[in-house]
Amino acid sequence: MDFVRMPIGHWMNVLVDWMVDNLAPLFRGIRQVIGTLLNATEDFLQWLPWPVLLVLVALLMWRVAGWRGAVLSALGLYLVGSMELWDRAMTTLALMVSSVTLAVLIGVPLGILCAKSDRVLAVVRPMLDMMQTMPAFVYLVPALMFFGIGKVPAVFATLVFATPPSVRLTNLGIRQVPREVVEASQSFGATPWQMLVKVQLPLAMPSIMAGINQTIMLSLSMSVLSAMIAAGGLGQEVLRGLSQVNLGRSFEGGLAIVVIAMILDRMSQSWGRRKRRAA
């Protein structure tokens, strides 16, 4: 008894081919938007003299995580520069900033929709599960077909992988607002918009921030994969090291990624915590 062969892979190919053929203007538009955002961010970061960024980051860390965090982050950033990885780090950072910005812009509103409607949630949730569990290599291919090689498909792939936590935790945060608090604002005559802005979002903020934190971490974890489609950045160092069997080079690239990850993690986490304290 043999299995009946289902040509799912074939269907997928047909679908993607059709999209490439027919939706080209759409992809061009997306490429334009992402590209503009990305280039502006990268140009700015590359233009910024490194001591300025280092001091800025140290000051921010001092505010959210105390003087130890400030000193450690300054040392870490200096280390990145002294490994001659500053430019690559800025490329990675620009990819990150663009991806995270877009992920939050898409994820939070989508999370709000999910919280407001069980039907939307029922459709969106399995999609999120798939986006997160499907190995990233799989959607690297259509990303290449839609956007060519370079940074834009990298941002696209990062979005697919990193947006789900923002959606999930926004939805969760809003749904966890106590029922009586929602009823109270209704009973005082809040419009749905007033309810969202004055009650639900502020109360959900710790959860939303936790989601954004996860989005940041996941985007960073995509940086090596992005380098495979010529997005450049620190991931490229890691890949070069691999191909040259040069552990030292890979390690330096990896270390720089860790430094950025730690700084961003501490910042976004303590922002969430501060919001929670205020809440």
Please state, in angstroms and rounded to a whole number, the distance separating the CA atoms of residues 92 and 83.
15
Residue 132 found at the interface with another protein (CB under 8 A): no
Q: Which of 3, 189, 243, 248 binds another protein (CB under 8 A)?
A: 189
Residue 118 found at the interface with another protein (CB under 8 A): no
Residue 9 found at the interface with another protein (CB under 8 A): no
Please state, in angstroms and rounded to a whole number, the distance separating the CA atoms of residues 63 and 178.
31
Residue 191 found at the interface with another protein (CB under 8 A): yes
Q: Which of 25, 49, 135, 178 binds another protein (CB under 8 A)?
A: 178
Stretch that binds another protein, among 36-44, 152-160, 163-171, 182-190 (CB under 8 A): 182-190
Kindly report the backbone phi and psi dihedral angles of residue 231, in degrees, each rounded to the nearest multiple of 5, phi listed first: -85, -10
Residue 185 found at the interface with another protein (CB under 8 A): yes
Residue 183 found at the interface with another protein (CB under 8 A): yes
Q: How many CB atoms lie within 10 A of CB 120?
A: 15
We find the least distance from the C-beta atom of residue 185 to another protein, in angstroms, to be 8
Q: Which of 26, 127, 181, 197 binds another protein (CB under 8 A)?
A: 181
Residue 244 found at the interface with another protein (CB under 8 A): no
Residue 52 found at the interface with another protein (CB under 8 A): no
Q: Which pairs count as long-range contacts for 158-161, CB under 8 Å and 24+ apart, including other chains?
A: 158/95, 158/99, 158/103, 158/218, 158/219, 158/222, 158/226, 159/99, 159/102, 159/103, 159/106, 160/131, 160/136, 161/131, 161/132, 161/136, 161/218, 161/219, 161/222
Residue 194 found at the interface with another protein (CB under 8 A): yes
Q: What angle do the packed helices 247-278 and 50-82 form, to 10 degrees?
A: 140
Considering beta carbons, is residue 131 or 195 the nearer one to another protein?
A: 195
We find the least distance from the C-beta atom of residue 118 to another protein, in angstroms, to be 14
3-state secondary structure 47-88: HCCHHHHHHHHHHHHHHHHHHHHHHHHHHHHHHHHHCCCHHH
Per-residue tokens: 225: 């994969």
Residue 258 found at the interface with another protein (CB under 8 A): no
Residue 190 found at the interface with another protein (CB under 8 A): yes
Stretch that binds another protein, among 130-138, 148-156, 174-182, 216-224 (CB under 8 A): 174-182
Site residues for another protein, window 200-219 (CB under 8 A)?
202-203, 205
We find the least distance from the C-beta atom of residue 191 to another protein, in angstroms, to be 7
Kindly report the backbone phi and psi dihedral angles of residue 248, in degrees, each rounded to the nearest multiple of 5, phi listed first: -55, -45
| Site size toward another protein, by CB under 8 A | 20
Displacement of CA 276 from its chain's centroid (Å): 22
Stretch that binds another protein, among 17-25, 97-105, 128-136, 176-184 (CB under 8 A): 176-184
How far CA 85 is from CA of 67, 218, 254, 260, 262, in Å, comes to 25, 21, 11, 12, 17
**Site of interaction with another protein (CB under 8 A):** 178, 180-181, 183-191, 194, 198-199, 202-203, 205, 278-279
